[in-house]
Amino acid sequence: MKPTFATPDEVSLQQFRALAAIAQTGSFTLAADALQLTQPAVSHLIKRMEQQLGQPLVVRGRRIRLTDAGQMMADTAQRALRMIDESVHACRSQAQLQEGRVVVAVGHLTAGALLPALLTRFSAAHPQLVATLHDSNAAQMVAQVLSREADLALGSDIGQTHSELATERLFSERMALFLRHDHPLALRASVQGRDLDGLPLVHVNPDAVVWRAISRELSAAANVYPQVVHHVSMLTTAFGMIQAGAGVALLPRYVARLMPPDLRAVPIVRPVLEFPIVAIRLAKQPLSPAAMAFLAMARQHLKPSLV
């Protein structure tokens, strides 16, 4: 009967381990001990492997040695098993949060005001994990998650415009009017929507979907349509323009912790305007263990204390 030759996927990992152990120990008995198998079991694995490959791999006798084919297979097995074992160890370490990395795209408003405290808490809880943050505007957050440059994103709501993405609301912050300390409204305990009529607004991150909802709220409740005089991307730029008297800004209250001392943040009532913060991820792509740990901590600790 002609031998039945094996394709590469028919030679088992256990057979490779047996051959590699024989090459290392020079003995079926010692190989069996290393693999925690019986000597007959190891012998059977090698015999079956020889049948599958169509030639002898081990010369049996008082002194065990490998044939040229056996040595070639053993060398290959040792290299492959080393890589497999390293990969298995890495996967287990990642699953146990002993190593890993998470990349998070963060909206400009959220990055400076909320992420430092969250990142400090995350590093203290998981010192073996590396978290990298990318300051981003709304469009950049979406692009980085879609391209897998970032594992997830944290920032303002993006709406339902991307079927590939899943969003999860983490919390909503109430809006305030940010203005210079000498502005006529600066000493108010609160302002109403109608007080915004005619005010020159500095619009931060205008591509964010949330601004459309805020505009609808103001027009419906107070018949006010914001008069935007400047569009900027960075919070620091908006603060500088307010300091220079170029306008005022509608911003979530939590950024007040970053504002210069000569600015004021006055809560807005009637209507109450909210700025939702969401986590964004690929809908059909599982998060890595490190990213899951970061998201779990964001769910628990990202919401700011009142300012």
Residues 6+ positions from 67 with CB-CB distance below 8 Å: 55, 56, 57, 58, 59
Rounded to whole angstroms, the Cα distance separating 63 from 157 reads: 71
CA-based radius of gyration for the chain: 31
Amino acid at 17: R
Global confidence as pTM: 0.78
Rounded to whole angstroms, the Cα distance separating 63 from 43 reads: 15
- Written as six digits, the tokens of 153 are 């994103």
Burial pattern 58-86, b for ≥16 Cβ within 10 A else e, equals beeeeebebeeebeebbeebbeebeeeee
- Written as six digits, the tokens of 4 are 């039945």
pLDDT tops 90 at residue 212: no
Q: Is the dihedral of CA 11, 13, 15, 17 positive or negative?
A: positive
Q: Maximum distance among all alpha carbons in the chain? A: 101
Rounded to whole angstroms, the Cα distance separating 116 from 209 reads: 25
Enumerate domains of the chain plus CATH numbers: 13-95 (1.10.10.10), 100-171+276-302 (3.40.190.10), 174-274 (3.40.190.10)
pLDDT digits (tens, 9 = 90+) for 233-245: 889 999 999 999 9
Rounded to whole angstroms, the Cα distance separating 37 from 257 reads: 64
Answer for the pair 47, 19: CB distance below 8 angstroms, yes or no.
Answer: no
pLDDT band at residue 302 under the 50/70/90 scheme: confident
pLDDT tops 70 at residue 3: no
- Strand residue runs (E) in 51-197: 58-59, 65-66, 100-107, 129-136, 152-156, 165-180, 191-192
pLDDT digits (tens, 9 = 90+) for 42-101: 999 999 999 999 999 999 888 889 999 999 999 999 999 999 998 988 888 888 888 999
| Beta-bridge partner residues of 154 | 106, 279
User: What pLDDT, on a 0 to 100 scale, did the predictor assign at position 5?
Assistant: 52
Answer for the pair 153, 136: CB distance below 8 angstroms, yes or no.
Answer: yes
pLDDT tops 90 at residue 138: no
pLDDT band at residue 215 under the 50/70/90 scheme: confident
Residue 204 sits at the vertex; the CA angle it makes with 270 and 131, to the nearest 5 degrees, is 110
Neighbouring CB atoms inside 10 A of 219's CB total 13
pLDDT digits (tens, 9 = 90+) for 175-209: 999 999 999 999 999 999 999 999 999 998 777 77
Mean pLDDT of 107-136: 93
| Beta-bridge partner residues of 152 | 104
User: What pLDDT, on a 0 to 100 scale, did the predictor assign at position 7?
Assistant: 55
User: What pLDDT, on a 0 to 100 scale, did the predictor assign at position 8?
Assistant: 54
pLDDT tops 90 at residue 226: no
pLDDT tops 80 at residue 12: yes
